[in-house]
Structure 1
């Protein structure tokens, strides 16, 4: 079957079923927009390099309790993954759908991500081959531009583990979440009280998968007391920060001995619980607001470009600073009055440059037209916009497609996580970082991501069917 032409935001908004849960689409785009704004605010660029505003002004670290909203994104991911996987199972009539699920979930994520990686790799190679990669600002930019990719690696792991965790949820409900949260707490005990080496890295999975599990609970309408969830999470986070070994900041700080983010801690899980409870409390009034055609059209349009904007927002910010330096303008010392005075202008310019980059690159994120059921998320990352061959004779749902799909997503997540750690500086020097106790270089990480994407894409037969959700 041939692919349909890309749809417009207006057409998608107009075709939205009346029973659709629009709030998850708003949460997705709002969480990514908050992260973008936070990054633009935190970057403190000077002639000495790129620093972190929160490290320079420690009292501002309390703002991370509002700006660290990645738990909301992963919560929304759990919700949409549950709906998509169940939708595929209903249409498959008993056939395995794992490979279909992976391909459908990852296609709109991996295409813009790999385009970003390849374009930045070409730029990094050009800079280093011409001998301009050794400067402080250039070196810092090449290191930091890939750092936000960590969340894509974690998201890939969530997609891969959705089927078994959804079964666990079906059997135990809140008990499955409690088991993951309890395991995360035990990891912190092993880390801080017993000094067990490397135990903390288990929480990269346990903490984020626990938040993801909350999305399953929302999909089944089982978060019936969001105020209790928010209060329990907030109280837990406050107590852990006040009396435990946990820092105030819910994002990583340069040079700190303990980070709530890398690896994630029980304090970050509690932070995620209060955020999920808080956004659930706002669901009803937000639903009334989203019923307005103009508002919903804006949310659909934003969802259609959200991943591209996220991938390129640091590039835009670095471009603004580069233009300022090229024009001979002075860079005020971060956190001074002059620096704060420039913040609104820099953010507006970064937003404008991001919009230009999105205009040029959004086609790699654009889906084909598919009539979506009422429970499917709108144009954006969590849409299963196309699948292959789960009908009779189709290999995507066959046992032969599952190993290739599983191997592919494993390579993708290892490659993207590795690249987020290595950066693109030192491409020619073999600079490496440790990923799960093994050293990985940027070229190796890029190779793994590309090979993994190829395996996922080829995990089915050429026969196409319309699988929606």
Structure 2
């Protein structure tokens, strides 16, 4: 079952990327640090997979999800660039080299391209950075499990070392190193989101820490502005601090998302953007480059003001959707799903239960009574503690910011139920049940299929809720979002 809050965050980040590349408004990087959000979500998803499977399997699964859409882009773009004279460019920043075409197959460095086609290859740094994070994740996750928040701080400390010493690597490696120190803290913060460590930090601690980091980021930005004032993308140090501060706040919060399903156009758009995140990212810049030729063709190139903004965005969106229709099926093949022309639809399959609210931790745990936990594992909750304690009434009221997600596995273990299909990703949790068996302290399940409490009262056993794994959208998704939402 998908966490629609994380789906919404990912969709918002993708739209923000499109708008930023279309209009170049620098303040968007402050309003919504999209890349930090996407790296954090991907880190959370990767942590979910590393808990369940061997590291090699996780890495191969992630790489498999990433590469086919890139190969399809290269299959189209590289011949076009060559036909347009890439091989004859003498002063190009990325001169044609047969050997460097390898990076279109495995982007451990930026895939090259001609100067004329900069809109094709310029955004591909994200795939290169993502690939390196995936390759390093087994080591990073082991480090995180050993030193916790120290692992989150490590990339920032490494950035400080680079600034103080002036240490650098050859150009290609140096770009990868700086992307790592800029977004590494967000990726590892995704680990803390997945296992519930972030949710267990009290708001009175999270908010001040995030506020201090944000203030330092803006202070540093003010003294080191690049070509565009107040553009975080020009100042890696400010980008790193601001993105991490933003991630800590938005992933610490798990609001109710029941409203999303009631707004069907928005719900479908969120589903589409998550299911086609790679395709949208790879092709949106090409669509933007085609906006003005299209407007010239239809004699709308002289619009001004707000109308021009609306028309430009509408055309860019329409052209991106054309690319989704033409090339999005590659993501289905990469995920080993049947190709679909248009994957938007309900986030739930037919017959699935409604999207649940985060479930309350049973109040029998005096330390966490009435709280909701973030992270599918909720490692601080043990069946032998909270679930086997003396029963206490559930709290009906939403406790607020602490509500992030549930720990359904512990309840099923205590009741002897089969937790159902293994999702391979963090989920928002099942709803607080109203079945009498949910509030039993020492319930057991005899062979007759009944739940019996200590007083001898019995009820028919209720089967464990069935979970459904939707077409896991993919690698952008980091999670608890859900793929394995995109593995």
TM superposition score category, shorter chain reference: 0.5 to 0.7
| Pairing 1:219–2:312 present | no
Cα distance change, pair 26–372 in 1 and its aligned pair in 2 (3 A): farther
Change in CA separation of 1:230 and 1:291 when aligned onto 2, cut-off 3 Å:
farther
The residue number in structure 2 matching 1:363 is 329
Q: How large is the RMSD of aligned CA atoms in angstroms?
A: 3.5
The answer to whether residue 49 in structure 2 is matched with residue 84 in structure 1 is: yes
User: Which residue matches 1:375?
Assistant: 425
Distance change in 2, residues 1:185/1:120 (3 Å): same
Corresponding residue for 2:231?
250
C-alpha spacing 1:375/1:131, structure 2 compared with 1 (3 Å): closer
Alpha carbons 1:82, 1:216 under 8 Å: kept: yes
1:33-44 matched pairs, under 5 angstroms = 33-42=15-24
Over 3 Å counting, the alpha-carbon distance change for 1:139 and 1:67 in structure 2 is farther
> Paired residue for 2:211?
231
Give the alignment's TM-score, normalised by structure 1.
0.60
Residue 217 of structure 1: CA displacement? 0.8
Give the deviation of 1:350 after TM superposition: 1.4
Query: Partners in 2 of 1:163 and 1:315 — Cα distance?
Result: 34
Q: For residues 34-433 of structure 1, what are the structure 2 equivalents within 5 Å?
A: 34-42=16-24, 61-88=26-53, 97-128=54-85, 141-191=116-166, 196=167, 202-223=177-198, 224=201, 225=203, 226-242=206-222, 244-247=223-226, 248-252=229-233, 259-260=234-235, 265-280=236-251, 282-285=253-256, 287-290=257-260, 294=264, 298-326=269-297, 329=299, 338=304, 341-366=307-332, 367-369=335-337, 373=423, 375=425, 379-382=472-475
CA deviation vs aligned residue, 1:336-369 (integer Å, no higher than 9, x gap):
x836642211211111111112111111011335
Q: In 1, are the aligned partners of 2:38 and 2:476 still within 8 Å (CA)?
A: no
Q: Whole-Å Cα distance in 2 between the matches of residues 139 and 117 of structure 1?
A: 13
Alignment of 1:26-37 (within 5 A): 26-37=8-19
- Relative to structure 1, is the Cα distance of residues 61 and 87 closer, same or farther in structure 2, using a 3 angstrom cutoff? same
User: Greater helix share, 1 or 2?
Assistant: 1
3-state DSSP of counterpart to 2:26:
helix
Counterparts of 1:104 and 1:236, CA distance in 2: 38
Give the alignment partner of residue 4 of structure 2, picking from 22, 25, 29. 22
Mean CA deviation greater in 160-169 or 351-360: 351-360
CA apart distance, 1:291: 6.2
Are the counterparts in 2 of residues 102 and 160 from structure 1 also a CA contact under 8 Å? yes
Distance verdict in 2 for CA 1:298–1:61, change over 3 Å: closer
| CA-CA distance at 1:139 after TM superposition | 7.1
Query: Counterparts in 2 of 1:430-469, with a 5 A limit?
Result: none
Question: When the two structures are aligned, how many residues end up with a matched partner?
Answer: 320
Indicate conservation of the 8 Å contact 2:39/2:476, yes or no: no
Unaligned runs of 5+ in 2: 92-112, 339-420, 428-469, 478-483
Task: Pick closer, same or farther for the CA change 1:281–1:291 going to 2, 3 Å.
Answer: farther
Which structure ranks higher in relative contact order (CA pairs < 8 Å, sequence separation ≥ 6)? Answer: 1
Contact 2:279 2:324 in 1 (8 A): yes
The Cα offsets for residues 135-157 of structure 1, whole Å up to 9 and x where unpaired, read as xxx97651232111101100000
Residue 328 of structure 2 aligns to a residue in which SS?
helix
Q: What secondary structure is seen at the aligned counterpart in 1 of 2:230?
A: coil
CA drift at 1:180: 2.4
| 8 A contact 1:246–1:267 mirrored in 2 | no
- The alpha carbon displacement at 1:113 in A equals 1.2
CA distance in 1, matches of 2:11, 2:142: 28
SS state of the match for residue 61, structure 1? coil
Give CA-to-partner distance per residue, 1:67-93, whole Å, 9 cap, x none.
4410000010110000011121xxxxx
